Amino acid sequence: MSQNVFSRISGFYKRCLEDRLSAIEALGVLDEDARAHLASGGGLPTAVADRLCENVIATHALPLGLALNFRVNQRDVLVPMAVEEPSVIAAASNAARMVRLSGGFTGEADPPIMTAQVQLDDVPDVDAAASRVVAARASLLAAGDAAIPRMVARGGGCRDVEARVLSAELGVLVVHLYVEVGDAMGANLVDTVAEAVAPLVQRIAGGTLGLRILSNLTVRRLVRVTATASDEALGGAEVASGIARAIRFAELDPYRAATHNKGFMNGLDATAVALGQDFRAIEAGAHAYAAMSGRYRPLSTWERIPGGVVGRAELPLAVGTVGGLAEVHAGVRAALQLVGAKSARELAVVLASVGLASNLAALRALASEGIQRGHMRLHERKRALAAAGSGGAAASPSGEAKRFAPERADGARVVQQGEGET
């Protein structure tokens, strides 16, 4: 199969579905099974579905589309997305086109190191216990490795031990084992390690054994990406400045940061779903990381530079090119072939780049014509379909704004009606 994919296919969306598929087949990145799977319309046989989870009664499909124009670390990449929301694929393609003019996305991912947690309560003299755990590093790593011999043979295995005192008063000690998991997402491997080392941890530290489970806040498995876009590509210096001001808004306000991060995750999640990744784990890690400073913050920043903007994002990303659905789901296998990532680390860089692209497209629209024009133009097709399916009865949007005053921890001085005037 050819490795020289050209992801810049102008006007792809204007072709009919059959032509799009033929154009992708002609690139030579798909094997025979993947071609046959896509040509048949995709999907999942119920017999396979019945083995994936429980109480299966049918399958549930989503559209599979391709985001185009992506260039990541000097490689053209086709980005499959499984998503129902109109404009997510168009937006990511649009931003990737702009970034491509400045050389594309660049990034790097940490080695695939996951975190196993072992919880102990009522530990007597918890600080001394923490020191004993750290001193027993070699035997804890050996006990962990003994539980995953095949991973050790592949070059992975346990790398480090950390003891964290969560409450000296209650004697709550949490021990982290850091495990390198190769090209897997690694959750099952790490849970195996957590359960295997827990009895030894307890013997060393004392106390009552609690949970033994991975953490989805994979701080030793971060990915960092960056991209630039010129004023010209963005539609002018004013738009570029608007993008940088949007970041200040998100930095100052968790209400905005939540939406900013939703926009960042738009394409990332869609790609993760197409690739059979555990998107719940990805989401949990991303949002926990966004709040790590004690305040919920944007996952990306865009800074004004002469003639354009530079964007950066950093987040934990536990994804795999093996394990999970990769062996059993024909659509996932096809999606992995389209992306062509050779390792879990390379895949993480692609996914984070997709996040940055989604984010840029949304901010560019928000800082110029507003989100509704482009988004709603694409949304209209869905509404027409819904209207046809429901005999023309479109859902009426409620114009009423509900008054909702939750507990506030956003640092803002809030002025409500009747409070702002004397």
Ligand X SMILES: NC(=O)C1=CN([C@@H]2O[C@H](COP(=O)(O)OP(=O)(O)OC[C@H]3O[C@@H](n4cnc5c(N)ncnc54)[C@H](O)[C@@H]3O)[C@@H](O)[C@H]2O)C=CC1
Ligand Y SMILES: CC(C)(COP(=O)([O-])OP(=O)([O-])OC[C@H]1O[C@@H](n2cnc3c(N)ncnc32)[C@H](O)[C@@H]1OP(=O)([O-])[O-])[C@@H](O)C(=O)NCCC(=O)NCCSC(=O)C[C@@](C)(O)CC(=O)[O-]
List interacting residues with ligand X (CB under 6 A): 150, 154, 181-189, 191, 214, 216, 278, 281, 320, 322-324
Sole binder of ligand Y in the list 5, 30, 66, 68 (CB under 6 A): 68
Pick the closest to residue 162 from 206, 123, 195, 201 (CA basis).
201
Q: Is 392 exposed, middle or buried (0-12, 13-18, 19+ CB in 10 A)?
A: exposed
Q: Which is nearer to ligand X, 276 or 311 (CB)?
A: 276
**258: contact with ligand Y by CB under 6 A:** no
Residue 182 near which of ligand Y, ligand X, none (CB within 5-8 Å, type-dependent): ligand X
Pick the closest to residue 158 from 180, 139, 174 (CA basis).
180
- Residue 278 catalytic? yes
Q: Where are the beta strands (DSSP E) in 83-189?
A: 106-109, 113-121, 157-167, 172-180
Q: Rounded to an integer, what distance in angstroms lies between the CA atom of residue 259 and that of residue 96?
A: 21
Q: Which is nearer to ligand X, 104 or 182 (CB)?
A: 182
- Residue 382 catalytic? no
| Beta partners for residue 315, in sequence order | 223
Residue 233 near which of ligand Y, ligand X, none (CB within 5-8 Å, type-dependent): none
- Residue 85 catalytic? yes
Per-residue contact string for residues 354-383; x = within reach of ligand Y by CB under 6 A: -------xxx-xx----x--xx--x-----
Residue 263 near which of ligand X, ligand Y, none (CB within 5-8 Å, type-dependent): ligand Y
Q: Rounded to an integer, what distance in angstroms lies between the CA atom of residue 173 and that of residue 164?
A: 6
Per-residue contact string for residues 77-96; x = within reach of ligand Y by CB under 6 A: --------x-xxxxx-xx--
Catalytic residue among 25, 110, 251, 262: 262
List the Cα angle 125/128/134 in 5-degree steps. 140
Sole binder of ligand Y in the list 7, 69, 215, 226 (CB under 6 A): 69
Contact partners, residue 35, CB within 8 Å, separation at least 6? 25
> For residues 113, 119, 125 and 127, what is the CA-based torsion angle, rounded to 10 degrees?
20
Stretch that binds ligand Y, among 8-16, 192-200, 222-230, 384-392 (CB under 6 A): 8-16
CA dihedral over 407, 413, 414, 418, signed as positive or negative: positive
Sole binder of ligand Y in the list 2, 4, 11, 414 (CB under 6 A): 11
- Residue 287 catalytic? no
**97: contact with ligand Y by CB under 6 A:** yes
Q: Rounded to an integer, what distance in angstroms lies between the CA atom of residue 398 and that of residue 240?
A: 34
Residue 163 near which of ligand Y, ligand X, none (CB within 5-8 Å, type-dependent): none
Q: Rounded to an integer, what distance in angstroms lies between the CA atom of residue 143 and that of residue 136?
A: 11
Residue 91 near which of ligand Y, ligand X, none (CB within 5-8 Å, type-dependent): ligand Y
Q: Tokens 């429980």 identify what position?
A: 54
| Beta partners for residue 215, in sequence order | 115
Residue ranges in contact with ligand Y by CB under 6 A:
10-13, 68-69, 85, 87-91, 93-94, 97, 259-260, 262-263, 266, 361-363, 365-366, 371, 374-375, 378
